[in-house]
Amino acid sequence: MIEKGKTKMYLDDERELIFIHIPRTGGNATKMALTGGSKPPGRLNGYEFYCHCDIEKVRGYCSPEKFQAYDKVGVIRNPYDYCVSWYEYLCYLKPTYKQLSFKQFLTEVGYRWNTAGEEFQEFQNMNIKPQTSWLESEGGDLIADQIWQYEKLAETLDIVYELKLPDVNINPSRPKKPYRSYYCPDTIKWVNKHFEKDLEIFDYTF
């Protein structure tokens, strides 16, 4: 197990894989596929899973040899869908937050979790920063070896590892409505501004 403080990372020696689990992008289902388990695993090849650890933190926790040699993989998602998933997840964790409109969530809460007061400290590692930032060097360069798209995750796992993505809903906070129904012109502009790099690199549209 690789551990510093309370932070543990996912590392698969058998596949020579480091999986960067970006929040709200199907990471638990991906790990279930990798391990063949019926629920998100807690350990693989002696290493414990830590849900959300960006690639630069991984560099500090992993040996230089493994960081260089292993495939560093992350999954990204359409930013408009991604933000809605975050909103529903927060409302699931804290039902009192259902008082917030989606617009309030984006403009008043979502982007400030890392710097918010005590009310949001439990979410300090779960902010909705651009997904590309989880996979970038300190200089802002994308250094992941593979970046999979959430929308094609089942197909990708089949092609790369001949694995089947579990057909289970392990996330009770999954949105019940199409993500587009949450948006107004102002919130579309907000996502366009804050997720510009994600949208541009992966050619996502509303």
Q: Report pLDDT digits (tens) over 26-65.
A: 888 888 888 776 555 554 444 444 567 889 988 887 889 9
Which residues fall within 8 angstroms of residue 40, CB to CB, at 6 or more apart? 28, 31, 32, 49, 170
**For residue 183, what are the CA distances in angstroms to 16, 88, 91, 200?**
40, 14, 17, 20
Name which of 78-82, 83-87, 123-127, 165-169 the model is least confident about: 123-127
pTM to 2 decimal places: 0.83
Token pair recorded at residue 159: 């092609």
Nearest in space to 73 (alpha carbons), one of 149, 1, 137:
149
Residue 68 scores a pLDDT above 90: yes
Residue spans of beta strands (DSSP E) within the chain = 3-4, 7-8, 11-12, 17-20, 43-44, 47-48, 71-76, 146-149
Interval 9-21: pLDDT, tens: 578 888 999 999 8
How many whole angstroms separate alpha carbon 182 and alpha carbon 136?
A: 29
